[in-house]
Amino acid sequence: DTEVTQTPKHLVMGMTNKKSLKCEQHMGHRAMYWYKQKAKKPPELMFVYSYEKLSINESVPSRFSPECPNSSLLNLHLHALQPEDSALYLCASTPGRPLYEQYFGPGTRLTVT
C-alpha cells in the first residue's frame, strides 16, 4: 500500500478565512512534505517534517503554518492567504533510510478569492 490521502480535494477560501489542509499516510513513513504546484511548473517544496519535527522550511510566508500531530498525519493551516497562493497543494511521504522513494497524495486544489 503506497497511499497518501489528502482532504479536501478542492477548497475555495476568501482572503480573511482560516482553513486547514490534511494529509494522512499509514505506511510508517517518517518524513512528510508539503509542496505547492502551479500550472506547468514543477512541485515547489514548502516544508519537510522528519520524525515529526520540522526539518525544512523553505522560507514560506507565515500565513502557511504546518503541523505534524503524529507520524501519520500532517496539516497545513492557512490564514490570510493571497490570490497568488491559489495552486495545487501536494503532500508526500518518504520511508526514510534506506528507501527514499517519495509518494505523493492526489493534492488539494486551492482557490483564494
Partner 1 sequence: DQQVKQNSPSLSVQEGRISILNCDYTNSMFDYFLWYKKYPAEGPTFLISISSIKDKNEDGRFTVFLNKSAKHLSLHIVPSQPGDSAVYFCAASARGSGTYKYIFGTGTRLKVLA
Give me the residues that bind partner 1 (CB under 8 A), please: 2, 4, 6, 31, 33, 40-43, 45, 48, 50, 55-56, 88, 90, 92, 94, 96-97, 100-107, 109
- Closer to partner 1 by CB, 16 or 98: give it: 98
- Closer to partner 1 by CB, 13 or 45: give it: 45
Q: In degrees rounded to 5, what are phi and psi of residue 83?
A: -55, -30
- Closer to partner 1 by CB, 66 or 107: give it: 107
* Pairing relationship of beta strands 10-13 and 108-112 according to DSSP bridges: parallel
> What DSSP line would sit under 39-86, residue for residue?
TTS--EEEEEEETTEEEEE-S--TTEEEEEEETTEEEEEEES--GGG-
Between CA 105 and CA 70 the distance in angstroms is 17
CA 82, chain centre distance (Å): 17
In the complex, minimum distance from the CB of residue 76 to partner 1, in angstroms, rounded to a whole number: 15
In the complex, minimum distance from the CB of residue 87 to partner 1, in angstroms, rounded to a whole number: 11
- Closer to partner 1 by CB, 16 or 33: give it: 33
In the complex, minimum distance from the CB of residue 42 to partner 1, in angstroms, rounded to a whole number: 4
